[in-house]
Structure 1
Amino acid sequence: MTGDRHTQVVVIGGGQAGLAAGYHLRRLGVDFVVLDAQAEPGGAWQHTWDSLRLFSPAAFSSLPGRLMPPRSGERYPDAAHVVAYLRDYEKRYELPVRRPVRALGVHRDGDFLRVRTDSGTWSARAVISATGTWWRPFLPAVPGRADFGGRQLHTVGYRRPQDFAGRRVIVVGGGNSGAQIAADLAHEAELTWVTPRPPRFLADDIDGRALFDAATARRRALDQGRGDTGGVASLGDIVAVPPVREARDRGLLEASPMFSRLVPGGVAWADGSRAEAEVIIWCTGFRPALSHLAPLRLRGRRGRIVTENTRAVDEPRLHLLGYGDWTGPASATLIGAGRPAREAAREIADLLA
């Protein structure tokens, strides 16, 4: 392993999950490094659309040890506020983040795991993967997608409604991203909102606090062998943050059912009806960004790494954080990142001991 840099733990990813892991590793006295592919602090939040709002007030959108400060006049902080908070969090706890460093592959090497990057190799006793999902947008296989003559982009490529002023735009997706972007465009573009099923808005008084509680209750019930409570899905799909609520109440968020195919000038439904479009925005979700773990050959038949809580069953020196409920209740959210990060750090400290 000549030339390798050594540490006890390598954390891959410097967004919210990686920072939460760093906080708990530091408290336990573990030697670690955080490798972040981004040039600046803030994780994926620095790449979102301008009007994005959190689902919860600042105090309920915090990482361990440090409450997010409120933003004057705003109940639900925007993405820029989150970026500033993450930058301050990283500095406050003096977390050893190295950037920009992109992890290319994690390999077994006897008692160590080697993390090969674009700027050298690290050897560690354990690895925490916290790369999230933003970097792997999902596009559904819809017939005719290659035939459409206009512009297509995913959520990750959307920034502001002014870019589409006066244009015929179809937004596809019935989740929070689809609803927020549709509401954003409703005043600027000739909008068609398409959802796979009728949109389900949560009650106006429900926000991210209730979603976290529902996700936690579901995981607890499953762990105890009780029936599936349904978790967040039992409450609805869309949090009615103020811009979404306003557009909905003004009748600007009337959804059409999912079309059956794309055609050169727009989309078509099975009954023969069509809608013209110049732009299609696919708000169709993400998949975990795990290509750096491919050398470990941990994926099962369905493509998912089998985990027990955050630990990979077939490689106990690897933990996964922030990829959704399968790595901890609401672990892909700010408020949900802390608990699984704490559990992973404790398991790793026990392993090192």
Structure 2
Amino acid sequence: MRAVDVVVIGAGQAGLSGAYHLRRVGLEPDRDFVVLDHAPRPGGAWQFRWPSLTYGKVHGMHALPGMELTGADGARPSSEVIGEYFDRYERTFGLRVHRPVEVVAVREGEDGRLLVETSEGPYATRALINATGTWDRPFWPRYPGQESFRGRQLHTAGYPGPEAFAGRRVVVVGGGASGTQHLMEIAEVAADTFWVTRRPPVFREGPFGAEEGRAAVAMVEERVRRGLPPQSVVSVTGLPLNDAVRSARASGVLDRLPMFDRITPTGVAWDDGRSIEADVILWATGFRPAVDHLAPLRLREPGGGIRVEGTRAVRDERVHLVGYGPSASTIGANRAGRAAVRDISRLLGRTGASVGPAAREARTAVSAA
């Protein structure tokens, strides 16, 4: 068993931000802390995004701390652009991510440490930064008759791009950004498309500035403080009205239908007698936090969520959730990584940034970047 001061689980935006700030306070990768990632290569969840999501279509990608993403070709797939950027970032700051590594469980260990059970062996750690995001837990709603459908059902997590739906009748379920993006792409090649949402979509006119952003984050943060499952920040901001969305609304592509009541072998149906024939149901119904490996620590509240103050789990001060709830955005993850390391430094008995070799090396890398 290896003993370290900090284990970071996940090497997406949140995990890399945490690892960067651990280096800034003088902790050395693979000696004082370790970063574990189950993905096969750098890029976090971005590496799994569909090919038609080019970098130019990405909304609100914020640079990692210490190194900007510059000169990116907006016509290239975001999975490639951001994957290469993350790879360069890991190498620039010497973060030495272990991959692919599966984290099976985190439980109470000995001598006040946490025991992290992984596919490459156990780690005993004094603190944990959990940055596992949501991509691994797509949410599939259940409806009567779902198993009887003879067509294809898939989730946003497996969306292959619009070409797979050519000539098909497609029902897109979900009122978020992914659902509208998929729908607008698919409508160009499908025989017919239908948009179904549980609630009427809210389209946002005008700019979305810092004040609006703070208000949205505060709404998500309040749920987390109450121990409720977090909503995504995007879910409380509404859908931005751009030229593409306006055009789709004018053409009828974004004419919304209320949620159906059941699924039939050949489509979907409502209790009022309406029905639609469909070949494909695409569930753009979001994701849930991937935190099942933390279950042995019993961090969940009766409301179903993990209550946090800042990034610290209220039920265990050694555990920090970064990229969870109010920090589940690229800029939020950066700030949360810094905040988590500040608290962990106090827990480890460190005050301020170290001036040891690791800290000097990290600062040199920042300057060079």
Q: Distance in 2 between matches of 1:342 and 1:221?
A: 21
Residue 83 of structure 2 is matched in structure 1 by 83
Could you give the per-residue CA deviations for residues 107-130 of structure 1, whole angstroms, max 9, x where no partner exists?
212321111101111111101111
In the other structure, the counterpart of 1:349 is: 345
- Tell me if 1:287 matches 2:288: yes
Cα offsets for 1:222-262 (capped at 9, x unmatched): 99xxxxxx996797522346654543344322211111111
User: How far does residue 220 in structure 1 lie from its aligned partner after superposition?
Assistant: 8.9
SS of equivalent residue, structure 2 residue 146: coil
Q: Is the 8 A contact 2:13 2:333 kept in 1?
A: yes
Q: Extract unaligned runs of 5+ from structure 1.
A: 224-229, 326-330
Q: Tell me the SS of whatever aligns to 1:120.
A: coil
Deviation at 1:213, TM superposition (A): 4.0
Instruction: Give distance in 2, aligned partners of 1:178 and 1:112.
Output: 43
Structure 1 position 5 matched with structure 2 position 7: no
Map 1:249-328 to 2 at 5 A: 249-325=250-326
Whether the 8 Å contact between 2:52 and 2:77 is mirrored in structure 1 is: no
- Asked if structure 1 preserves the Cα contact closer than 8 Å seen for 2:233 and 2:328, the reply is no
How has the CA–CA distance of structure 1 residues 135 and 214 changed in structure 2, closer, same or farther, with 3 Å as cutoff?
A: same
Equivalences for 1:164-243 in 2 at 5 Å?
164-189=165-190, 190-203=192-205, 205-206=207-208, 212-216=213-217, 236-240=237-241, 243=244
* Structure 2: distance between partners of 1:97 and 1:107: 22
Q: After TM superposition, give the deviation of residue 85 of structure 1 in Å.
A: 1.9
From 25, 29, 52, the counterpart of 1:28: 25
Distance across 1 between alignment mates of 2:296 and 2:223: 31
Answer yes or no: is the 8 Å Cα contact 1:174–1:237 preserved in 2: no
- Structure 1 residues 5, 222: CA separation in 2 closer, same or farther (over 3 Å shift)? closer
Q: Does 1:45 align with 2:41?
A: no
Specify the alignment match of 1:337 in structure 2: 333
Note the C-alpha offset of 1:177. Answer: 0.9
Contact 1:58–1:69, Cα closer than 8 Å, also in 2: no
Give me the whole-angstrom Cα distance separating, in 2, the residues matched to 1:114 and 1:283: 36
Give distance in 1, aligned partners of 2:219 and 2:299.
Answer: 26
Superposition map of 1:113-128 within 5 A? 113-128=114-129
Distance in 1, matches of 2:33 and 2:246, equals 44
- The runs of 5 or more residues in structure 2 that have no matched partner are 225-230, 350-369
8 A contact 1:57–1:70 mirrored in 2: no
Kept in 1: contact 2:49–2:78 (CA 8 A): no
Given that residues 126 and 317 in structure 1 are in contact (C-alpha distance below 8 angstroms), is that contact kept between their aligned partners in structure 2? Answer: yes
1:134/1:58 CA distance change after superposition, 3 Å: closer
Partner of 1:100: 100
Aligned CA-pair RMSD: 2.9
Identity of aligned residues (%): 48
8 Å CA contact 1:180, 1:243 repeated in 2: no
**1:131-165: CA deviations, max 9, x gaps?**
11110111112222122221111111111111110
Q: What SS does the corresponding residue of 1:345 show, helix, strand or coil?
A: helix
With over 3 angstroms needed to count, the CA separation of the structure-2 counterparts of 1:268 and 1:210, relative to structure 1, is farther
Structure 1 residue 171, shift from structure 2 partner: 0.3
Counterpart Cα distance in 2 of 1:150 and 1:220: 39
Q: Distance in 1 between matches of 2:60 and 2:164?
A: 33
Match of 2:117, SS state, is strand
Whichever residue aligns with residue 313 of structure 1, its letter is V
- Superimposed CA distance per residue, residues 65-97 of structure 1 (whole angstroms, 9 cap, x where no aligned partner): 2222253456x9834322222222222211121
The whole-number CA distance in structure 1 between the counterparts of 2:333 and 2:246 is 27
CA deviations on 1:209-228 (whole Å, 9 max, x unpaired) are: 776444356579999xxxxx
Once the two structures are TM-superposed, the CA of residue 302 in structure 1 deviates from its matched residue by 2.5
Give 1:296's aligned amino acid: L
Q: TM-score, normalised by structure 1?
A: 0.86
In 1: Cα distance, 2:122 partner to 2:235 partner: 45
